[in-house]
Structure 1
Amino acid sequence: MLDYDNRPVRYVFGNDAQAYCQWLTDLRVLAQRPVAERSGLELGGLEVRLPTEAEWEKAARGNDKRIFSWQGEFDPDKANVVETGIGTTSAVGCFPNGASPYGCLDMIGNVWEWTNSKKEKYPYKNDGREDGKGDSFVVRGGARNNNGVSARCAFRNDDTRYLHDNDTVNYLWHDSGFRVVVSSIS
């Protein structure tokens, strides 16, 4: 559980996560011929980016209306949240029973995950809010120091500071990380 090399990155602002994705895309590592051939995508036609809010929720929830990434009620044995009692981040994959229907691990708890979406009404039609411009983006998934309420697939936040249960101010980026999407360039 304390495998430090396999923990999610933390202390990341949304703009930094976007810059990292752009850096990976610019490296064109993913556009090398073997990867393109295996994936069936055109050579050079891949990009690395943050998921949109809708993509993140779909990866966490699947096609049904589940509340958590797993089927059933809240269970602290399926995510690194405050009720679990770990008190720090855990290595990726420590909670395999909390996997989403698509097999995505740690969608709930551990660290908040930045999306490429600005906070507006949700759900929404494609209205351009994923343009990557601005300084306030939605985070999803809750973190290791949040309770089960934040563990819901539908829970969203965008403020850079929030109150802990003991009313002390903490900054969201302290427990903010990200996961990436690799997609074809449209």
Structure 2
Amino acid sequence: MNITCKETRVIRTSRVFPNDINNHHTLFGGKLLSDVDMIASISASRLCRCECVTASMDSVDFLSPIRPTDAVIFESFVTWTGKSSMEIFVKVIAEGLTTGNRTTAATAFLTFVALDDNGKPTTVPCIHPETEEEKYLHNTADQRAIARKQRRNESKELASKLGQQTL
């Protein structure tokens, strides 16, 4: 069964409130990461209609600051699927509420794994891209998957070298 990227698309707009900003008067990065993970999880669930867990946040690139005078638009969709995993792309746009100017403020790639009722990985449907943006992200997903696997192996190697005690 093929599902289109459009069927997994989620769009959310929110305001930046005083408790969301850091000492630089821009949106706190941790708040943005939390929102990115949340919206990506909805796209993942729309693909497979089961429980999903975040396996990795492959990359998050903060491209421009988000200010208290901005609205924040999050757009996510599934770009690629493996056997039980899927890649989700999230685009974050800052919109000046008084000017209407929009800027891509951040992009992110996350990997989610679908789980069955016993908490074990389960098969996900294939994704079918339709737009030029979707096709581009789908066609370049293999490169990101290779880099992701290499980075995960390096992380496992590093973790095996680290002690478990804290100071």
TM-score (norm. length: structure 2): 0.23
Task: Report which structure shows greater RCO (CA 8 Å, sep ≥6).
Answer: 1
Indicate the structure with greater strand content: 2
| Structure having the larger proportion of residues in helix | 2
